[in-house]
A = this chain, B = another copy of it.
Amino acid sequence: MKKILGIDVGGTKIIYAVLNEKGDFLTDIKKISTSKQIDDLVGQFRTIINEYENQIDIVAFATAGAVNLNNTRVESSTPNLPLGYNSIDFSSLSNKPVYVENDANAAAWAEYKTGAAIGDNNTIIITLGTGVGGGFIINGSLLRGKSGRAGEVGSMKIQGRGRICTCGRKDCFESYASGSGLKFTAIETAKNDDLFLTSIYKSKSPEEITTYDIINGLKENDEYSKKVFNIWQNDLTVGLINIVNIFDPDSIVLSGGMGEFADIEKIEDNINKEIVVSKVKVKLAKAGNYSGMIGAALLACDKF
């Protein structure tokens, strides 16, 4: 059975471990801080690979950014990684075959092969974190598009309220359905709804309310927080309905920090009431925090 060195490159940390071709971890998972300088970062990659090269068959990277169709380079700009990151030829970093995959795609693959979407040959994994990302499995294959950049679902302009997104455009799905979107909805609601006046956060100014406050307010049974969360969840549902109508998938899997707070059953009901395609299941991700590494390792095994 092949052994794969999985390396997940994030803006703040790099995590790595050796996996087998089923996605099981064979070593401890190690973490280091991501270097802010490109030469140092490449040095970190080389050091990690040197440590394991004689005991593995393949190196598999999961990384932010759009990956080329050969799975050897990151082609887009990646604001959280050092300048020059898209000049790295990952295949040159090891004598063993090297595979690079976009982290959202890799995580989606892990959900499909080992997580919540096993057996769902048409499934879409939506990551609800600081931003909104998407990984699309169509007929058992990843949707990559002509250049590997497909799946930019956070930029979908949905039916909204004219909200300005961090990208400068209006009504992006991400500006509503992300963690930041929840904060924007909290501010909007505090300014426009009297429920705020009796909320546990009434002493704060609207702009001071955080995403965490609203999540905490749900636990405290705060009516304002519940209303904010409900609006957030309805906006999320608008975007999911669009996606389901286009893809007619078996399932939608919600992952990321915000996913675990969503009312999966209610979202599924509301989607199935509105769609014009056949009914869909909504599921919570379960491939875990290391799904990027797992998915990249499994995809690398398929290629090499």
- Residues of A that sit less than 8 Å from B by CB: 66, 121-122, 134, 136, 138-139, 141, 143-153, 155-160, 167, 169-171, 238, 241-243, 245-250, 274-278
Contacts and interface: CB of A to CB of B under 8 A. Distances in A.
A238 B159 contact: no
A249 B156 contact: no
Contacts of A146: 121-122, 248-250, 278
* Assembly stoichiometry (copies): 2
Contacts of A122: 145-146
10 contacts: A122-B146, A145-B277, A145-B278, A147-B248, A152-B277, A155-B245, A156-B242, A157-B158, A158-B159, A169-B274
Main secondary structure of the interface of A (DSSP, over half): loop
B246 A150 contact: yes
Contacts of A238: 157
A153 B246 CA distance: 5
A149 B169 CA distance: 31
Contacts of A151: 246, 248
Contacts of A145: 122, 247-249, 277-278
- Among A152, A169, A246, the most chain B Cβ lie within 10 Å of the Cβ of A246
A160 B246 CA distance: 19
B278 A153 contact: no
Nearest to A250: B146
A156 B246 contact: yes
Contact of A158 (B158, B167, B243, B249): B158
Contacts of A167: 276
A157 to B, nearest CB: 4
A243 B136 CA distance: 14
